[in-house]
């Protein structure tokens, strides 16, 4: 079972620690307090300000708090309406959770965007506000484009440069290369050894059929006879040359 009183007390302590003098507890029964919200908590250049007054029901945060907005300075009726709509949205999104800090910060961010001297809510002031918001959006779009362009340029540079060769990268490449070449080397060695065997030896090792062995033997004998005939021809030519020399 939820201990609402304890949860509410813990939220009050947190708000007091965060906002300090800008937080005021008004009563215990019902629990009521207010937060003084300004764009800059250091107190400088605050042209807009308001109070958020909250009355906390017994079963909060399972039910919404009763909120009242009290303008201190610099806010037009239209802006107060926008702030109330913003807070209603935040309450709906955070129902069931301690939400007063979230509400206060959402309002503070709104005040930061609308913190202008002489903000009287006139048509001229509204036009200036819209122009400023438009410029901020355009600046953000340009900043995003520049960031993306820089990222693309960096990626292109890395692709062009490739991976630097170090002792570690070379060792990794060499190991991969050796692993890929190992089967090829084994086949080459086996072929070389097989080439030196006679047909009968090939048949005995089961590398060829008997017919294949006979063909291999015949080819080997042919090669031997060719070599013998070559040697006899060479000897005959040598003897002929000696005879010619004697006649001379």
The pLDDT tens digits of the residues spanning 44-73 come to: 789 999 999 999 999 999 999 999 999 999
- Predicted pLDDT at 15: 97
Residue ranges per domain, the chain? 4-119, 122-162, 169-242
Residue 30: cis peptide before it, omega within 30 degrees of 0: yes
- Predicted pLDDT at 94: 96
Helix (H) or strand (E) holding 12: helix 4-19
Asked if 187 contacts 181 with a C-beta cutoff of 8 angstroms, the reply is no
> Regarding the domain with residue range 4-119, which homologous superfamily does it belong to in the CATH classification?
Ubiquitin Conjugating Enzyme (3.10.110.10)
Is residue 248's pLDDT more than 70?
A: no
- What global pTM score does this model have? 0.50
Is residue 128's pLDDT more than 90?
A: no
Structure tokens at 68: 């009242």
| Burial (CB count <10 Å: 0-12, 13-18, 19+), residue 37 | buried
Is residue 206's pLDDT more than 50?
A: yes
């Amino acid at each position: 079972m939820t201990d609402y009183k304890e949860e509410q007390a813990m939220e009050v302590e947190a708000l007091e620690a965060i906002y300090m003098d800008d937080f005021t507890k008004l009563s215990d029964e019902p629990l009521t307090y207010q937060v003084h919200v300004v764009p800059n908590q250091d107190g400088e250049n605050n042209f807009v300000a308001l109070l958020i007054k909250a009355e906390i029901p017994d079963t909060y945060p399972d039910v919404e708090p009763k909120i009242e907005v009290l303008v201190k300075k610099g806010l037009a009726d239209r802006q107060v309406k926008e702030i109330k709509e913003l807070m209603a949205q935040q309450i709906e999104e955070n129902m069931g959770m301690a939400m007063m800090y979230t509400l206060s910060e959402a309002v503070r961010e709104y005040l930061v965007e609308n913190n202008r001297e002489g903000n009287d809510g006139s048509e001229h002031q509204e036009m200036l506000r819209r122009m400023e918001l438009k410029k901020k959006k355009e600046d953000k779009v340009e900043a995003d484009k520049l960031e993306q362009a820089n990222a693309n340029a960096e990626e292109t540079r890395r692709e062009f440069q490739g991976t630097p060769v170090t002792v570690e990268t070379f060792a990794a490449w060499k190991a991969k290369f050796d692993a890929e070449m190992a089967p090829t080397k084994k086949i080459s060695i086996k072929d070389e050894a097989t080439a030196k065997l006679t047909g009968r030896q090939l048949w005995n090792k089961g590398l060829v059929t008997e017919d294949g062995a006979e063909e291999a033997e015949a080819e080997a004998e042919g090669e031997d006879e060719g070599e013998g005939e070559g040697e006899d021809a060479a000897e005959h030519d040598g003897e002929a040359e000696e005879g010619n020399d004697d006649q001379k």
